[in-house]
């Protein structure tokens, strides 16, 4: 095996993270994993360490030496950022974006993070999520009723995109009539957050959309304060009034991030999930016989093709890992998608096996930042995949090679045409 820790920078940068990688990252992950556990890349966020093994990715997610406060440095280092944000007004807009972005819970550490998470926790309590099932079922049936499977339809546009958007709108108590706007804002954030090498143009779009999202929520607050409901925005307002959230935009940053996180990821669980099941007819047939197997199947879908392929951390202290020293301030990319296929953790990792029980995937992260919306997205996947299976047991994909969205970090299909013959 090559010792990449002492290899030349050119060797370090192979293999390419190109279009083939975006289509199917798993062969590249296997090569990276074989190349060494800790690899430096110049072409990822202008320089970052990649971790590919399950144990190391889990360590990065759980160990406080890997800080979640990672946004500042790489936003400023994006090529062309100074030209794109020239002038006092543009710079002030960028500063506002960075402040909001950096105060989302996923980018906080320690006591700050615990305080914000605590304020949100009640809104995601498993008992509360369970009560949402009838509404998720209703929204799903409403979408499926409008479809003609004989004529064929695009599952992403018809179901995987709108459903999570309507569910998160319901949770936040906002009007799903504004759905087209949410999705456009969210897509801009996804293109920026999910890029391995974000451009100044992606940053500009993300900045504009985040600020619009925040203005949207800000305009809702007076009415919500006057007549609070049981929705998440009302809960967060109460938390702010109780001093649990700072009154300087912290609440708005969480709302915007929830709107984004609530549907961008779940859309890809639904899309990648249905695609994988249809590509494995034995699994589809088994679920037709035994629908109760869906819980394990969704868990395996998450492992096999995770909607979130990586997350980042910044070193809060020097740390030597497998003989390589990661310096304080270095950026680390924890490749969840690679960890989920680590042969040291999962037997036969490239095989999709809905009966698999051993090993835990890292698709929802791990430790203090483990996904707060996991229960909600599992509920949505369970409801949608069961409903599709029941309604169209003979459903099949129309294209053997559907189009992927080209977003490295938020892996999903751009379209999934399906039909019954």
Nearest residue to 398 via CA among 201, 154, 80: 154
By the rule CB under 6 A, 169 interacts with ligand HEM: no
By the rule CB under 6 A, 372 interacts with ligand HEM: yes
Compute the least distance from the CB of residue 266 to ligand HEM, in Å: 5
Q: What is the largest CA-CA distance in the chain?
A: 65
Residue 332 has phi, psi (to 5 degrees) of -125, 130
d(CA 125, CA 265) in angstroms, rounded, equals 19
By the rule CB under 6 A, 262 interacts with ligand HEM: yes
By the rule CB under 6 A, 75 interacts with ligand HEM: no
Pick between residue 147 and residue 362 the one whose CB is nearest to ligand HEM.
362
- For residue 321, the surrounding DSSP H or E stretch is strand 319-321
By the rule CB under 6 A, 52 interacts with ligand HEM: no
- For residue 393, the surrounding DSSP H or E stretch is none
Pick between residue 39 and residue 384 the one whose CB is nearest to ligand HEM.
384
CB under 6 A: which stretch of 173-181, 188-196, 371-379, 387-395 binds ligand HEM? Answer: 371-379
Binding residue (CB under 6 A) for ligand HEM from 12, 48, 75, 106: 106
Compute the least distance from the CB of residue 202 to ligand HEM, in Å: 19
| Residue closest to ligand HEM (Cβ) | 373
Pick between residue 372 and residue 395 the one whose CB is nearest to ligand HEM.
372
- In terms of DSSP bridges, do strands 331-334 and 417-419 run parallel, antiparallel, or are they unpaired? unpaired
The contact mask relative to ligand HEM for 4-43 (x = CB under 6 A, - = no) is ----------------------------------------
Helix (H, G, I), strand (E, B) or coil at 332: strand
Compute the least distance from the CB of residue 104 to ligand HEM, in Å: 7
Residues of this chain, 293-322, that bind ligand HEM according to CB under 6 A: 307-308, 311
Pick between residue 183 and residue 376 the one whose CB is nearest to ligand HEM.
376
Pick between residue 291 and residue 382 the one whose CB is nearest to ligand HEM.
382
Contact 217/258 with Cβ under 8 angstroms? Answer: no
- Which tokens is 41 given? 């890349």
Helix (H, G, I), strand (E, B) or coil at 25: coil
d(CA 390, CA 104) in angstroms, rounded, equals 39
Contact 257/206 with Cβ under 8 angstroms? Answer: no
d(CA 56, CA 335) in angstroms, rounded, equals 9
d(CA 199, CA 102) in angstroms, rounded, equals 19
- In terms of DSSP bridges, do strands 331-334 and 48-51 run parallel, antiparallel, or are they unpaired? parallel
Binding residue (CB under 6 A) for ligand HEM from 224, 303, 369, 411: 369
For ligand HEM, the binding residues (CB under 6 A) are 61, 105-106, 117, 168, 257-258, 261-262, 265-266, 269, 307-308, 311, 363-365, 369, 371-373, 376-377
């Amino acid at each position: 095996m090559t010792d990449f820790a002492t290899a030349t920078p050119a060797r370090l940068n192979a293999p390419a993270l190109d279009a083939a990688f975006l289509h199917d990252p798993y062969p590249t992950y296997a090569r990276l994993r074989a190349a060494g556990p800790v690899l430096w890349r110049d072409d990822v966020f202008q320089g970052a360490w990649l971790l590919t093994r399950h144990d190391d990715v889990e360590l990065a997610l759980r160990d406080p030496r890997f800080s979640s406060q990672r946004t500042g440095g790489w936003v400023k280092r994006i090529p062309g950022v100074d030209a794109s944000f020239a002038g006092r007004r543009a710079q002030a807009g960028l500063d506002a974006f960075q402040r909001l972005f950096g105060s989302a819970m996923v980018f906080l550490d320690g006591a700050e993070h615990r305080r914000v998470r605590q304020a949100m926790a009640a809104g995601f309590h498993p008992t509360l999520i369970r009560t949402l099932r009838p509404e998720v079922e209703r929204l799903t049936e409403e979408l499926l009723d409008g479809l003609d499977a004989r004529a064929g339809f695009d599952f992403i546009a018809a179901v995987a995109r709108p459903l999570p958007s309507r569910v998160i709108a319901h949770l936040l108590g906002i009007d799903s009539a504004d759905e087209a706007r949410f999705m456009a804002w969210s897509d801009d954030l996804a293109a920026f957050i999910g890029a391995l090498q974000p451009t100044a143009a992606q940053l500009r779009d993300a900045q504009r959309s985040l600020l619009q999202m925040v203005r949207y929520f800000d305009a809702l607050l007076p009415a919500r304060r006057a007549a609070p409901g049981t929705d998440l925005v009302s809960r967060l307002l109460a938390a702010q009034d109780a001093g649990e959230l700072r009154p300087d935009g912290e609440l708005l940053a969480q709302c915007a991030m929830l709107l984004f996180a609530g549907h961008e990821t779940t859309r890809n669980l639904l899309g990648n999930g249905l695609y994988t099941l249809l590509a494995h007819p034995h699994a589809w047939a088994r679920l037709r016989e035994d629908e109760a197997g869906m819980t394990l199947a969704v868990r395996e879908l998450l492992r096999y093709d995770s909607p979130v392929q990586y997350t980042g951390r910044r070193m809060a202290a020097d740390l030597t890992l497998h003989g390589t020293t990661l310096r304080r301030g270095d950026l680390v990319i924890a490749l969840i998608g690679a960890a989920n296929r680590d042969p040291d953790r999962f037997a036969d990792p490239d095989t999709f096996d809905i009966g698999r029980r051993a090993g835990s995937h890292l698709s929802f992260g791990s430790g203090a930042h483990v996904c707060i919306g996991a229960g909600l997205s599992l509920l949505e996947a369970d409801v949608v995949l069961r409903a599709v299976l029941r309604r169209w047991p003979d459903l099949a994909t129309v294209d053997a090679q559907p189009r992927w969205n080209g977003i490295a970090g938020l892996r999903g299909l751009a379209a999934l045409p399906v039909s019954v013959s």
